[in-house]
Amino acid sequence: MIRAIPIIVSQTIASGFVALIWLFIPFAATAQEVASSPPSSDYVSRAEYDKLKAEHEEMKQELEALKAQIGQLAKGPAAAPAEGKQVVTEMPSQAATDELRQQVETLKSQVKETFPGSTKFLLAGYGTAGFTARSGEDPFFDAAFNAIFLWKLTDRLFFEGELELEFEDEETTINLEIAQASYLLNDYMTIGVGRFLNPTDYFVERQHMNWVNKLPDKPLAVYDGLLPESELGAQSRGVIPMGPTKLEYVAFVANAPGLITAPDDFSELGTLDFDNDANVGGHVAIGGHVGFIPIPQLEIGYGIQRSKVGPRDQAVEAILQSADFNYVQDSPLLKGLINFRAQWVWSHVGDFVYDPDGQQGFGPLEFNNNRNGGYVQLAYRPTHIDNDIIKNVEGVFRYDRLNQLHTPVGFDEQRFTLGLNYWVTPSAVVKVAYELDDKNGGARDQNAFMTQVAVGF
């Protein structure tokens, strides 16, 4: 019995030891797996899972809300459904959008064209303000406004009128510069009747507008000098294309100028009165101008007007002539625009006996009145310079002259003018110029400083 007790104890200890081993094996295996796997922190706990699930649900709801919002935006502004009408929810096609846009543009254009002055009738013109300080005279400011009315009555009939309002002798004067109806007879001829700019004088017809003329004042002889500024009559004009060249022509009949035989100012004796609207003397002037354009940059022209002037029973012949040369070249080599113009005019009034009976106190006085004059002008603007200020600056030089020493006026005159312009826009300019004056025959030289602002519209 005593021998049996140690056997039972030893068997129990062995069984316990084996049981311990068996118990240890799973723990040992688990311990090996733990050593080769990621840290236990990557495992999601229930709380974390629930939190993630809640966030996922929230994001799903936000996504649905965004989808709904985008859908509404694509359909355009929500229109209130009218009663009995179906709400359109389809997206407009690109073609429909383009068509709608085109209709809107057309309507805008039509509305714009109904504004006053923009359909068939156009109010254009130019305005000027200036300052002149001329030696021997009081300096003064001046201003002028020229309103030009253009009216296209039909595709062939056209009316043009111009009123000039300016200060003159402390008064505001209004002059009718142009009042002409033109009819396009065919491709090569236009007929015009009324008051029109003198076609023989290139400067008057093309350059005298203050926003076009490059200096504050106008050249001697060609403007307010030896040729009339406008004619009252009828003209026919047109252009003959000849390959790459063109030939322009104008022919006209008009009231003849009057002959000044009893002037208030003796220096005007034997000159022509171009404001002879009543056609005193009853003479008719005929004239014309031809211009040839061999290349687009160059135009050469010649104009003439011939008429009888003076009292009907003592009429003498008056011949006015003009030659013009105009060259405008945009030169990449000189990095700018070259503008060269020249014009010379001649005035001849035949032999006439003034104050034949001596009643005016200076006669009888018999003479031919032959005068001539003109100008040469060069302007340069560096339009190719890549600087917004410099490219709008223009330098101008002009030489103009009037030869009349052997007439009652009694002096010749020549001027040298230097000018500097700044073009604010293509039709708005600020001009500054200094003019050196030189008169022969005892008359006083009158140098001048001039500024002018001119705006064309």
Partner 1 sequence: MKEIVSRIRKWIGLPGAVIIISCVATTWLISCAANQQSGQVSAAAATGKGGAELWAENCIRCHNIRSPSSYSPAQWEVVMMHMRVRANLTPEEHKKILEFLKSGS
DSSP assignment of 263-297: -SSGGGTT-EES--TT-TT--EEEEEEEEEESSTT
Write 391-397 long-range contacts (CB < 8 A, 24+).
Answer: 392/422, 392/423, 392/424, 393/420, 393/421, 393/422, 393/423, 394/214, 394/420, 394/421, 394/422, 394/423, 395/419, 395/420, 395/421, 396/214, 396/215, 396/420, 396/421, 396/433
Task: Considering the complex, state which of residue 206 and residue 335 has its C-beta at the smaller distance from partner 1.
Answer: 206
Rule CB under 8 A: which of 292-321 touch partner 1? 296-297, 299, 302, 304, 306, 319, 321
Interface with partner 1 (CB under 8 A), residue from 147, 166, 234, 249 = 249
- The reply on whether position 330 binds partner 1 by CB under 8 A is yes
Stretch that binds partner 1, among 45-53, 58-66, 283-291, 371-379 (CB under 8 A): 283-291
Binding of residue 449 to partner 1 (CB under 8 A):
no
If binding is defined by CB under 8 A, does position 261 make contact with partner 1?
Answer: no
- Per-position x/- string for 182-221, each x denoting binding to partner 1 as judged by CB under 8 A, each - no binding: x-xxxxxxx-x------------xxx-x-xx---------
* 415-423: Cβ within 8 A, 24+ apart: 415/220, 417/215, 417/217, 419/214, 419/215, 419/216, 419/395, 420/393, 420/394, 420/395, 420/396, 421/214, 421/381, 421/393, 421/394, 421/395, 421/396, 422/392, 422/393, 422/394, 423/381, 423/392, 423/393, 423/394
| C-alpha atoms less than 13 angstroms from C-alpha of 98 in its C-beta half-sphere | 3
Q: How far apart are CA 75 and CA 73, in angstroms?
A: 5
Residue 276 or 421 having the CB closest to partner 1: 421
Residue 64 C-beta: closest distance to partner 1, Å: 50
For position 426 contacting partner 1 by CB under 8 A, the verdict is: yes
Q: Minimal distance in Å, beta carbon 384 to partner 1?
A: 14
In the bound state with partner 1, the residue whose beta carbon lies nearer, of 131 and 183, is: 183
Minimum CB separation of residue 178 from partner 1 in Å reads: 10
Beta strands in 7-47, from DSSP E residues, in sequence order = none
Q: Would you count residue 238 as binding partner 1 (CB under 8 A)?
A: yes
Query: And the tokens for 50?
Result: 């629930």
Nearer to partner 1, 144 or 285 (CB): 285
Strand, coil or helix: 52: helix
Q: Select from 194, 219, 291, 419 the one that contacts partner 1 (CB under 8 A).
A: 291
CA 60 to chain centre: 62
Task: Give every CB contact of residue 341 below 8 A, 6+ residues apart in sequence.
Answer: 203, 207, 324, 325, 326, 327, 375, 376, 377
Binding mask 31-60 for partner 1 (x = CB under 8 A): ------------------------------
Site string for partner 1, 355-384 (x = CB under 8 A): ------------------------------
Q: Does 423 sit near partner 1 (CB under 8 A)?
A: yes
> d(Cα 121, Cα 333) in Å, to the nearest integer?
42
SS3 string of 97-135? HHHHHHHHHHHHHHHHHCCCCCCCEEEEEEEEEEEEEEC
H-run or E-run covering 33: helix 4-36
Nearer to partner 1 by C-beta: 59 or 420?
Answer: 420
Is residue 328 involved in binding partner 1 (CB under 8 A)? yes
Q: Which of 37, 89, 102, 118 binds partner 1 (CB under 8 A)?
A: 118
Cβ nearer to partner 1, comparing 189 with 365: 189
Q: Is 69 in the site for partner 1 (CB under 8 A)?
A: no
Nearer to partner 1, 134 or 206 (CB): 206
119-158: contacts with partner 1 (CB under 8 A): 119-122, 124, 150-152, 158
Binding site for partner 1 (CB under 8 A): 109, 112-113, 118-122, 124, 150-152, 158, 160, 182, 184-190, 192, 205-207, 209, 211-212, 236-244, 246, 248-249, 251, 286-288, 290-291, 296-297, 299, 302, 304, 306, 319, 321, 326, 328, 330, 337, 423, 426-427, 456
